[in-house]
Structure 1
Amino acid sequence: MPLYAQETSYIDVMGVMIRVDKDRYTERQGAGTRATFGWQTSGNWFTEVQLFGVKVDRDSNLALYPQLDTTQVGTPTAIIDSTNFNPGLVSGTMGAATSPYIYTDALKPSGDLELSGLGVDVVYHFSGREGYSPFVLAGIGASNNNTEYDYGPRETNGFLNVGAGIVSGALSSRGLKVRAEVRYLRDFFATDMSDYQFGIGISIPLRCPPAPAPAVAYMPPAEPEQVVAVDLDDDGDGVLNQKDRCPNTLPGARVDEYGCVIADQTITLENIQFEFNSATLTARAEASLEAVVQSLLSQPDSLIEVAGHTDSRGNDDYNLRLSAQRAESVRRHMVSRGVDATRISSKGFGETQPVASNATESGRAQNRRVELTFR
C-alpha cells in the first residue's frame, strides 16, 4: 500500500490580509503575499524562512500631509504647514543629502505604506504535517517600511512575530495541501507597530508522496488443509506438517518443537527495495513482503520490530531519518495486509549497525537492509 510519508521540505505560497496599527496613519486594512520555505528539523519541529510584502493605502480621512514637528541639524525647529508642504527636497544646511522632512524622535509615518519583511520561524506541527495538522510558530526578522516620507536607514528595522494555524491533509495525487494562519507582528518601526496578518494559500511538498491506493478488504487466510503425511515439511523449518502449528515459517528462522518462531532473534528480509532516496516501496518489494505477511499471520502470538538500516554514504541525521521512514513504510504495509498493528513496531538505526564494510559496493548493499526482530 503506498504511503503518505511526512514531507521533509516544502514551499508555501499564501495571500495575506493585514490589519495595521492605528499609529501608522493609514487605512487599517491592506493585502499582499507571503512565501515560505520550510524543512523538518527534528520530529514535529520545522524551520521556515518567510518573505512577505503587503500594501496599505493612505487613510482617506486624514489630511494629505499632517503637520509635523521637524528638527534639522544646525537649524531651529520648524513647523511644516500641510497646506504649503512640498514633498520634494527641503533645502537647508544638509545640502545635497536633504530629505522630504527631517524627523524628531517621535516619528509619524503617513501616506501609502509598502511593508515587506524577511524572517526565520520555528514551527511545531502537532501532527507532524501528516493529515490535518495544527501548528504554532514564533520567529524574528527584518522589515522595511516604505512610506511617502523618507526615513533613511530607519526604514529597515527588526520584528518579532508569533502565530498559529493549520495545514490540511493532502488534497491531490501530488500531495498539495491548504495552509491557513494568523500572525501577530511587532514591527520596531517608529514608535513600534502592532500588526495582525491573516494568510491562506497552498503548501507544495518538494517530494510528492504517491496517491493512496484503494482500500482492499482483508480476507483472513483459509485454514490449511490437514495433509496426512509422515515426511513432509513444506516450510522447511524442520518440523513436519502434521505437527507444525505455525506454517509458512520465514527461511532461516529458528523454531520450537511446534514450528513456531522463538523470541530474541533477528531475520534479514530479502528483496526489500525502495524508490531512490525515499521511503516508497517498489512493486517487487511489496510482492516479497507478501510471504512475510503470511508467515506473521500464521504466528499470531509473536511481537515484531521492523528495523531499517542504511550504508554510511550521506549525512548521519538524514540516514537516521530515512531508515526510520523506510522501517515505518514496511510496518504500515504489513498492517494494511492484516497483521495486527499492536504486534508490530518500527525503528530506524541509520548507519550505526553495519554488517559489512562500507568501503565496497557489495558491503554497502548488505548494510542497506530491513530486519525483523522477534521479541
Structure 2
Amino acid sequence: MSIEPARRAFFPKFSIIFSVFLSSLCLQAMANESSSDDIPVPQFINIMPVYVDADNDRGADEGGGFRIGYGRSLDSKWYWESDLFGGVLETGNSNITDLYQLGASTGLSWSLYDRDPSHWTPYLIGMVGAVYNDGQPDSRDGMDLTLGAGVGAVSKSLFDNGIRLRAEARYLYDTYANDQTDLHVSVGIEIPLRGARVVENVVYIDRFHEFEREVPVMVTVYDPDSDGDGVVDSRDKCPDTLDGARVDATGCIIESQTIALSNVAFELGSDRLTPSSREALDDIAASLRSQSDMAIEIAGHTDSQGSDALNMDLSQRRANSVRSYLVEQGVAEEQLTSKGYGPHQPVADNATVSGRAMNRRVEFRISK
C-alpha cells in the first residue's frame, strides 16, 4: 500500500524525536566522564518488542511496536535510562488509517536489589518525554508530552557475556486528543556494555606464616590443623587463629603485627559492607572472641584520588563500619579501636591503577 501525504509527513518528525533521545544520551555520557573512579560504571542497552493495549478514546484497540533503550548506573540501585519507541495502533477499520507513534523519553529506574547478574532483579521505572502522534483527523496530529510509570524485572545472566532477559509493564499517558492512557507490555533482552556490578574490593598483600614446628619421628594418629595456622590442634593453645596472622609454636598470635583483611569489600564510595564481606567478618569475629586478650586497631586506607578531607572521612567511616559489625558479632568493644589514615600510608604507587587498588585497604594492627 502506498504512503499518503499524511503518512509521509510523519517521518520528518523522526529527526525531532531522535534529537530528544540523543540529547539524553549526551547528558548521560557527560555524567560518565565526570566520574573520577577507576572502576567502570555499569551500562546497558535494552531491545524489546512491545504490545500496546490502547486507550479506547484513541479509536484504536491494540497495536505493537519496538523500544530500544540505554541505561547507566547512578549507584547500586538507581539507574538513569533513556529510550526510543515506535509503534502502530490498529483502528480495525479499513476506512480509517492506523495511528502511528514515535517517541523518546528519559527517566529513572529503581531496583529492589542491586542489579547483580547472579539473580533476578525487580524494578520500578518512571519516564518523561515527547511523542509524535499521527492519526485521523489530521488536525490532532502533533508532538505531545508523555509520562510513563511501570514495573519490570531483569533475569540473572543467561550466558557468560552477561545478556539478561527483561520484561516490563508500563502505563503511558500523553496529551493527544484530550489525554490518553495506554498500557505497554514488553519482553526482550538487556545487553551489558561495561561492568555488571559496582563493588570496590580491598586488595591485600600476602604474608608468610612464621612458626616453629617439631618434626615427629612417626605419625600414629590423625592430628589436623583446623585453623590453618601451621600448628596442629593437639599443640594449638589458641584455636580459631585469625587468617594471615603470624603465630608462635603454641599457635597463639605474635604481638605487634599488621594483617591486611582479605575478602572484604565495600560498595563504591560508601562504608557499606557487601554481603560476602559480612561472611568473612563472621569468621574473624569467632577468632577474636577466642583470643580476647588481643588489642586491635582497625586501620582504614584509601588511594589519593579525590580530596584529602573526603578520603580521610571515607577511611574513618569504613574502619568504623568494620568495628561496628565485629561488635555486633560479640567481640568486646574495648578490644577494638578504629582509625582512618586516608591516602597518607600508601603501599604502592598511586600513579597506576593497580597501585591505587592496593592502597585501598583495611588492616588489623595487633598488640597485646
Distance 1:7 1:133, change over 3 A: farther
User: 1:43 and 2:34 equivalent?
Assistant: no
Does the Cα contact within 8 Å between 2:133 and 2:142 map onto a contact in 1? yes
The letter of the residue matching 1:15 is P
Choose the corresponding residue for 2:259, options 267, 270, 295.
Answer: 267
User: 1:370 and 2:357 equivalent?
Assistant: no
Task: Tell me the equivalent position of 2:126.
Answer: 138
Q: CA deviation at 1:179?
A: 0.7
Task: Tell me the equivalent position of 1:120.
Answer: 106
The letter of the residue matching 1:157 is D
Task: Tell me the equivalent position of 1:327.
Answer: none
Does the Cα contact within 8 Å between 1:311 and 1:351 map onto a contact in 2? no
Task: Tell me the equivalent position of 1:184.
Answer: 171
Distance 1:267 1:37, change over 3 A: same
Task: Tell me the equivalent position of 1:54.
Answer: 87
SS at match of 1:42: coil
Q: How far apart, in 1, do the equivalents of 2:130 and 2:354 lie?
A: 46
Task: Tell me the equivalent position of 1:276.
Answer: none
TM (norm. structure 1) is 0.52
Q: Which has the larger radius of gyration?
A: 1
Q: How far apart, in 1, do the equivalents of 2:237 and 2:359 lie?
A: 33
Q: How far apart, in 2, do the equivalents of 1:25 and 1:189 lie?
A: 12
Task: Tell me the equivalent position of 2:273.
Answer: none
SS at match of 2:355: helix
CA displacement 1:302-332 (0-9 Å, x = unmatched): 799999865345899xx9xxx9xxxxxxx9x
Task: Tell me the equivalent position of 2:35.
Answer: none
Does the Cα contact within 8 Å between 1:249 and 1:259 map onto a contact in 2? no
Does the Cα contact within 8 Å between 2:235 and 2:251 map onto a contact in 1? no
Task: Tell me the equivalent position of 1:19.
Answer: 53
- Listed as ranges, the matches of 1:166-245 within 5 Å are 166-207=153-194, 227=214, 242=235, 245=238
Q: CA deviation at 1:146?
A: 2.1
Query: Size of the alignment, in residue pairs?
Result: 256
What CA RMSD, in Å, does the superposition of the two structures yield over aligned residues?
Answer: 5.5
What percent of counterpart residues are identical?
28
**Structure 2 unmatched ranges of 5 or more:** 1-38, 198-210, 217-227, 264-279, 316-321, 323-328, 331-339
Does the Cα contact within 8 Å between 1:160 and 1:185 map onto a contact in 2? yes
Q: How far apart, in 1, do the equivalents of 2:176 and 2:235 lie?
A: 84
More helix by share: 2
Does the Cα contact within 8 Å between 2:106 and 2:127 map onto a contact in 1? yes
SS at match of 1:199: strand
If asked which structure has higher relative contact order (CA below 8 Å, sep 6+), I would say 1
Distance 1:302 1:42, change over 3 A: farther
Q: How far apart, in 2, do the equivalents of 1:56 and 1:363 lie?
A: 52
**Structure 1 unmatched ranges of 5 or more:** 66-110, 211-223, 273-291, 324-330, 332-341, 344-349
Does the Cα contact within 8 Å between 1:312 and 1:358 map onto a contact in 2? no
Distance 1:357 1:158, change over 3 A: farther
Q: CA deviation at 1:36?
A: 1.6
Distance 1:246 1:53, change over 3 A: same
Distance 1:35 1:306, change over 3 A: farther
User: 1:8 and 2:60 equivalent?
Assistant: no
- Listed as ranges, the matches of 1:86-165 within 5 Å are 111-130=97-116, 131-151=119-139, 155-165=142-152
TM (norm. structure 2) is 0.53
CA displacement 1:111-149 (0-9 Å, x = unmatched): 211112111122111122221111111121111112255
Does the Cα contact within 8 Å between 2:115 and 2:196 map onto a contact in 1? no
Q: CA deviation at 1:247?
A: 8.5
SS at match of 1:365: helix
The letter of the residue matching 2:113 is S
Does the Cα contact within 8 Å between 1:302 and 1:374 map onto a contact in 2? no
Does the Cα contact within 8 Å between 1:50 and 1:121 map onto a contact in 2? no
